[in-house]
């Protein structure tokens, strides 16, 4: 699933290439992807003619603010990613007009396409069809219970160490599970929880209440470090995620433990292990990340 860095990379791409463009049409072969309003015809009627004002991110949601006080919310879920370009419909398939990154097999599952006034398109590729698209009045979105339940953003300028400690205060459970709870901290998923814990030398099963002040500080710094570095590298693309040009991110080259079971720890050369709890795999170095 695209996590904070991948979603931010997508948002950055939209702001660079799609701002001030106007929607002139919408196509979909999977109308269930539209969750609000439920009726695709109504969705299409409202969105045509709307101009893209800006894109931003909240947790793992892409938000595109439109004219007339509307906002488009897109959650890419497990395998979805937004793409920008131009396609032609040939033999019941959308084929990129030009050869290049959009030819990547992971980019071929187009289920909704927004046609823009400059002849380009903004499309959503999603092999498993889990993504969701919602059209909101902007104020209603900002005041929705869904938004109000989201925790603080770890890359906000005011997300201090004190705010990090406050978010974790009195939380029970394993630290990795808590880090991935969007009601506690926004945007962190399995990839970056594993990576941050490796950098901080903390075992993923360690209970939050047992973390020392020093460990909390190291973890706070590690979370910010790995998220910022991944954004610099365009996110992680060892699975489905691609940027809006269809290309891969480069964080895979710096991934320390996630999906590296059996490989040597880059810090101490001990074999990386995998354990499973709460239905998710966790990757760690048993020498660097000792469960005390």
Catalytic residues: 2-3, 60, 280
For residues 5-12, give the mean pLDDT: 98
pLDDT at residue 260 tops 90: yes
CA of 229: how far to CAs of 19, 188, 275, in Å?
Answer: 25, 14, 26
Q: Among residues 148, 181, 205, which one ends one of the domains?
A: 148
Q: Above pLDDT 90, what percent of the chain?
A: 97
Q: 218 and 142 in one domain?
A: no
DSSP reduced 3-state for 43:
helix
The answer to whether residue 104 is domain-embedded is: yes
Q: 108 and 227 in one domain?
A: no
What pLDDT score was predicted for residue 99?
94
Q: Among residues 80, 114, 148, which one ends one of the domains?
A: 148
Q: 170 and 265 in one domain?
A: yes
What pLDDT score was predicted for residue 206?
98
Of the candidates 187, 207, 222, 205, the residue with the CA atom closest to the CA atom of residue 278: 205
Q: 263 and 135 in one domain?
A: no
The answer to whether residue 291 is domain-embedded is: no
What pLDDT score was predicted for residue 275?
97
Of the candidates 248, 249, 287, 243, the residue with the CA atom closest to the CA atom of residue 267: 287
Under the banding of pLDDT at 50, 70 and 90, the label for residue 243 is: very high
What pLDDT score was predicted for residue 134?
98
Task: Provide the number of structural domains found in the chain.
Answer: 2
pLDDT at residue 279 tops 90: no
Question: What are the pLDDT digits (tens) for 61-118?
Answer: 999 999 999 999 999 999 999 999 999 999 999 999 999 999 999 999 999 999 999 9
Beta bridge partners of 275: 282
Sign of CA dihedral 142, 145, 48, 29: positive
Retrieve residue 187's tokens: 């945007």
Under the banding of pLDDT at 50, 70 and 90, the label for residue 238 is: confident
CA diameter of the chain: 61
pLDDT at residue 232 tops 90: yes
The answer to whether residue 37 is domain-embedded is: yes
Q: 92 and 167 in one domain?
A: no
Q: What is the pTM of this model?
A: 0.97
The answer to whether residue 156 is domain-embedded is: no
Q: 132 and 13 in one domain?
A: yes
Q: Among residues 148, 175, 209, which one ends one of the domains?
A: 148
The answer to whether residue 292 is domain-embedded is: no
Retrieve residue 96's tokens: 């990129």
Q: What's the whole-number average pLDDT of the chain?
A: 97
Question: CB-based contacts of 241: which residues, under 8 Å, 6+ apart?
Answer: 2, 6, 81, 235, 249
What pLDDT score was predicted for residue 209?
96
pLDDT at residue 205 tops 90: yes
The answer to whether residue 247 is domain-embedded is: yes
CA of 184: how far to CAs of 114, 169, 207, in Å?
Answer: 34, 10, 15
End-to-end CA distance of the chain: 31
The answer to whether residue 59 is domain-embedded is: yes
Distance between CA atoms of residues 189 and 192, nearest Å: 6
For residue 189, give the CATH number of its domain: 1.10.8.50
Cβ-count burial 184-215 (b if 16+ within 10 Å, e if not): bbbbbbbbbbbbbbbbbbbbbbbebeebeeee
For residues 181-203, give the mean pLDDT: 98
Question: What are the pLDDT digits (tens) for 15-60?
Answer: 999 999 999 999 999 999 999 999 999 999 999 999 999 999 999 9
For residue 81, give the CATH number of its domain: 3.20.190.10
Estimate the crossing angle of helix 4-17 against helix 213-232, to 10 degrees. Answer: 40
Q: 98 and 56 in one domain?
A: yes
Q: 140 and 9 in one domain?
A: yes
Q: 130 and 50 in one domain?
A: yes
Question: CB-based contacts of 210: which residues, under 8 Å, 6+ apart?
Answer: 292
Q: 29 and 133 in one domain?
A: yes
Report H helices in 134-283: 138-142, 145-148, 161-168, 175-179, 190-200, 213-232
Q: 134 and 19 in one domain?
A: yes
Instruction: Provide the total of helices (H) and of strands (E) in the chain, helices listed first.
Output: 8, 13
The answer to whether residue 128 is domain-embedded is: yes
Q: 279 and 223 in one domain?
A: yes
- Which range of residues forms the domain containing residue 165? 161-284
Element (H, E) at 86: none
Distance between CA atoms of residues 289 and 128, nearest Å: 35
pLDDT at residue 194 tops 90: yes
């Amino acid at each position: 699933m695209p996590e904070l860095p991948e979603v931010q990379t997508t948002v950055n791409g939209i702001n660079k290439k799609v701002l001030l463009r106007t929607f002139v049409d919408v196509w979909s072969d999977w109308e269930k992807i539209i969750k609000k309003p439920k009726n695709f015809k109504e969705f299409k009627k409202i969105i045509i003619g709307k101009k893209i004002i800006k894109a931003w991110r909240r947790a793992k949601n892409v938000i595109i603010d439109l004219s007339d006080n509307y906002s488009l919310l897109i959650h890419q879920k497990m395998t979805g990613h937004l793409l920008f370009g131009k396609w032609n419909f040939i033999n019941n398939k959308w084929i990129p007009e030009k050869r290049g990154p959009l030819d990547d097999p992971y980019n071929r599952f187009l289920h909704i396409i927004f046609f823009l006034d400059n002849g380009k398109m903004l499309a959503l590729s999603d092999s498993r069809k889990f993504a969701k698209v919602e059209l909101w009045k902007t104020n209603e979105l900002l005041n929705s219970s869904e938004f109000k339940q989201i925790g603080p953003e770890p890359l906000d300028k005011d997300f201090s160490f004190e705010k990090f400690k406050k978010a974790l205060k009195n939380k029970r459970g394993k630290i990795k599970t808590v880090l991935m709870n969007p009601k506690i901290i926004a945007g962190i998923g399995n990839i970056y929880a594993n990576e941050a814990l490796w950098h901080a030398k903390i075992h993923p099963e360690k209970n939050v209440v047992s973390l020392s002040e020093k460990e909390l500080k190291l973890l706070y710094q590690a979370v910010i470090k790995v998220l910022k570095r991944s954004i610099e590298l365009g996110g992680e693309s060892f699975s489905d995620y691609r940027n809006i040009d269809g290309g891969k991110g480069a964080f895979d080259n710096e991934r320390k433990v996630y999906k590296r079971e059996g490989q040597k720890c880059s810090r101490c050369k001990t074999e990386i292990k995998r354990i499973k709890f709460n239905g998710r795999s966790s990757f760690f170095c048993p020498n660097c990340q000792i469960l005390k």
